[in-house]
Structure 1
Amino acid sequence: MSINEPAPVASPRLSLSSLTDGIVRSIKFTGEEIKKAGAKLNTIDTTYISPNKYNLAFMLEQSSWYEHYRLGSNDGQSLNFAPNINTKLGVYFGWRWIFLGLSFDIKDLIGKGKEKAPRKEIVFNLYSAKFGVDLYYRKTGSDFKLSSYEKFNLSQSYTNTQFNGFQSNIKGLNAYWIFNHKRFSYPAAYSQSTNQRKSCGSLLAGFSYSQHNISFDHTQLPEEMQQQLSPSLKFHSLRYTDYNLSVGYGYNWVFARNCLLNISLLPAIAYKKARINDQPTQSGTDWAQWIRDINFDLITRAGITWNNSKYYVGASLVLHTYDYRKPTFSMTNSFGSLRIYMGFNFWKKKEYREKRNKKGSCPSE
């Protein structure tokens, strides 16, 4: 080639092909790394736990939502509010860790809940072998009742009377680590994606963050109750943020073939910052003020299930309890859900499919 001849130009087709191959290789590499990370997060001891052999699942569920709020003053006066238990029916399809579906309020289906302000609930749960995550948002409706009260001198009983002056919404995140994850399975009790074969327990540790917004209109109380109400209970809004660290224990008891009972308790030490009537509560930089913002919470889980890896049926309870205390005012709020479900798994994973024999027949399972 002479000095004056131009250098050859790379073929556009060749460059595009190289770019496409590079993208494909990157996607494959990323997929392989995700698969490896997933395998590490779900490493188990198969003597204690049987892995999920299926890709997909179908489930029918009935769920009930429970709430309770207790407002208290420094003189011992208290008010307790609770709505009617909310019951829903749901249909879900699952792919490995993820369940998607629809749920319907039974009262709405039969036309008795249209006049009430609707409750809203969004929940996402992830249970892997090593860790779990709960994301939730709950907004109450308008069907609270005054369930009980103390330190009032009244001419008649107002227990279980309708009260439309209370509403709340809560949003938060729970994350927890399972130390004995190779032998203890949370998914076996709460997502039916594995089977616990031998009884085992584990130490649990977690972190939680939540925001609570409470609105309270004391003028909706009976008139004679308003007249006796403690000044510290005459607020209209309470907003507080809760950060907590928890350490607890969970145990899976295999009490019969394919039958499992789980109970776990996670007591938590919590730091709360609040605004009452949109004003910050008294605070400071000294240790005495900081310690006053520390309270205690509790997360309780219980589940019972029968699962033969193909079909399953069971029930689970998850209960959150938050405690907020100041010298003149206290509030304890609890909410939980009870689920009763049944379903089946299908479409076996490739590694668990039985190979056909040479004659073309397939051995029975």
Structure 2
Amino acid sequence: MLKSFLTSLCFCLLCMVANAQCVDSSAVEQSVKPSLMKRVVNGVKQFVNSFGDVDTAYIEPQKYVYTVMAQNTYTYELYKIKTAEGNSVTFAPEPTIKFGPYVGWQWLFLGYTVDLRRLNGNNKQEFDLSFYTAQIGIDLFWRNTGNNYKISSESLAKEIKPDAVLGSNFGGFDARIRGFNLYYILNHRRFSYRAAFSQSTVQRRSAGSLLFGVGCTWHRVNVDLMQLDQLITSKLGAQATIIGANDTVNFGKVKYTDLSISGGYAYNWVFARNWVLAGSLSLALGYKRTTGDVRTRRTSLGDFLSYNVAVDGVGRFGIVWNNSRWYAGASTILHTYNYRKDRFSTNNMFGNLNLYVGFNFIKR
């Protein structure tokens, strides 16, 4: 009996020791395992850091925290309209010239520029912003044309020389555009858009990348064709009219939304130490949804594709000298949009040319 009791007591003591060890082990595991909140924060940090993950044999990351830069910007645009009769007129304003300082901190880059031509009465309004990480880029733009357009070219169905009307001021044209382009850089570890267009990295070896993106823009074009026709006929004669028999008072006034998907290629050529020559081109297939007065009654699939789908484009080009501390260069971004209906079509191009010089300071 005593022997049986002692055996049971020893067995109980062994179980208690084993349970204690299990409790201590789980407590240690809990103390080592991070909390859910900490894991979420670490995950967010890793995700954000992945946007700057690069192959340092090709791309030299930014070594400094802050930068200052002076930039001179030229903005330009043109609109070409075409009627069903084959008449076309191209409007272009005087280029806008801006100058101002910029200050940057890591991804954030802010500045203020003065429109030198606005001092002479130009009321154009525009806002353009491009934001780049290693993997993605975003273009934002908001533009009002102003009232300083001139007729830069004209083509009439009749054989009439347009020389007398070229360069004439025309106040009956108004256009607005709002929108964004978002694109993904496939070879982001070796190719850097930032090296060419935001100077926040340095491309050390030549590399290229495919680009894929989406975009959405809102357009409004308002052309007073009656006023335009009066201007043209007063200078070229009554036979130079551009008004068709079916044109109404609202003809030439249109609003449309452009939804697009795009693909393209970009390349950075390092042709000398601290130098890079950059170029990229993306073509976008855009669906145009009209909300204005220009409509078509066609309903076949071919007519739908012809009058609602068009090819747009974005081009970027630049040349930069950057030794990590000092940098200087030039860059340009061009956007083109096409819109077509059975009796009225427009082609729009706008862009910026930037000349800049700056330096970085305070090492990371």
TM-score by length of 2: 0.82
Partner of 1:20: none
1:229 pairs with one of 242, 245, 254: 242
Match of 1:319 among 334, 337, 362: 334
| In the alignment, structure 1 residue 96 sits paired with structure 2 residue 106 | yes
SS of the equivalent of 1:220 reads: helix
Question: For residues 1-365 of structure 1, what are the structure 2 equivalents within 5 Å?
Answer: 32-108=42-118, 111-113=119-121, 116=122, 118-151=123-156, 153=160, 157-221=164-228, 223=230, 225=232, 228-231=241-244, 235-277=251-293, 281-282=296-297, 287-292=301-306, 293-349=308-364
* Aligned-partner Cα distance in 1 for 2:177–2:297: 23
Find the aligned partners of 1:123 and 1:54 in 2 and give their Cα distance.
Answer: 26
Deviation of residue 26 (structure 1)?
Answer: 9.8
Give 1:121 shift. Answer: 1.4
Q: CA contact under 8 A between 2:229 and 2:243: conserved in structure 1? A: no
Shift, 1:155, TM fit: 8.6
Native 8 Å contact 1:91 1:102 kept in 2: yes
8 Å contact from structure 2 (residues 252, 344) kept in 1: no
- Contact 2:196–2:319 (CA under 8 A) maintained in structure 1: yes
Shift of 1:326: 2.1
In structure 2, the residue corresponding to 1:338 is in which secondary structure? strand
Q: Rg: which structure is higher?
A: 2
Looking at structure 2, the residues matched to 137 and 298 of structure 1 have their Cα atoms a distance apart, in angstroms, of 17
Q: Which residue of structure 2 aligns with residue 12 of structure 1?
A: none
**Aligned partner of residue 162 in structure 1, secondary structure:** coil
Larger fraction in helix = 2
3-state SS of 1:193 partner = coil
Partners of 1:313 and 1:341 within 8 A in 2? yes
Distance 1:160 1:38, change over 3 A: same
Q: Is the 8 A contact 2:226 2:243 kept in 1?
A: no
CA change 1:242–1:282 in 2 (3 A) is farther
Within 1, Cα distance between the matches of 2:329 and 2:298? 47
Task: Report the 3-state secondary structure (helix = DSSP H, G, I; strand = E; otherwise coil) of the residue aligned with 1:161.
Answer: coil
Q: What letter is aligned with 2:204?
A: R
Q: How far does the alpha carbon of each residue in 1:116-175 deviate from its partner, in whole angstroms, 9 at most, with x for none?
A: 4x1111222211111101111011111000111111536961101111111111100100
CA contact (8 A) 1:71 1:233 kept: no
**What amino acid is aligned across from residue 310 of structure 2 in structure 1?**
N
Partner amino acid for 2:243? S
Distance 1:248 1:328 in 2: 32
Task: Give me the CA root mean square deviation.
Answer: 2.2
Retained in 2: the 8 A contact 1:70–1:79?
yes
Query: What's 1:14 paired with?
Result: none
Going from structure 1 to structure 2, the CA distance change for 1:30 and 1:341 (only over 3 Å counts) comes to farther
* CA drift at 1:112: 2.2
Q: Is the 8 A contact 1:58 1:94 kept in 2?
A: yes
The SS at the match of 1:46 is coil
Secondary structure at the counterpart of residue 189 of structure 1: helix
Query: Cα deviations across residues 233-271 of structure 1 (Å, max 9, x unaligned)?
Result: 762421111111111100000011100110000011111
Q: Which residue in 2 is equivalent to 1:13?
A: none
- TM-score, normalising length from structure 1? 0.81
Paired AA for residue 91 in structure 2: F
**Identity, % of aligned pairs?**
40
SS of alignment partner, residue 55 of structure 2: coil
Separation of aligned partners in 1, 2:165 and 2:362: 56
Contact 1:275–1:281, Cα closer than 8 Å, also in 2: no
Deviations 1:209-231 (A, max 9, x none): 10011111123326263551133
**2-structure distance, mates of 1:220, 1:204:** 43
Task: Could you tell me which runs of 5 or more consecutive residues in structure 1 were left unpaired when the two chains were aligned.
Answer: 1-24, 350-365
Q: What amino acid sits opposite 1:190 in the alignment?
A: F
Deviates more, 1:218-227 or 1:172-181: 218-227
Amino acid at match of 2:65: N
Shift of 1:289: 4.4
User: 1:75/1:307 Cα in 2 relative to 1: closer, same or farther (>3 Å)?
Assistant: same
Displacement of 1:311 in angstroms is 0.7
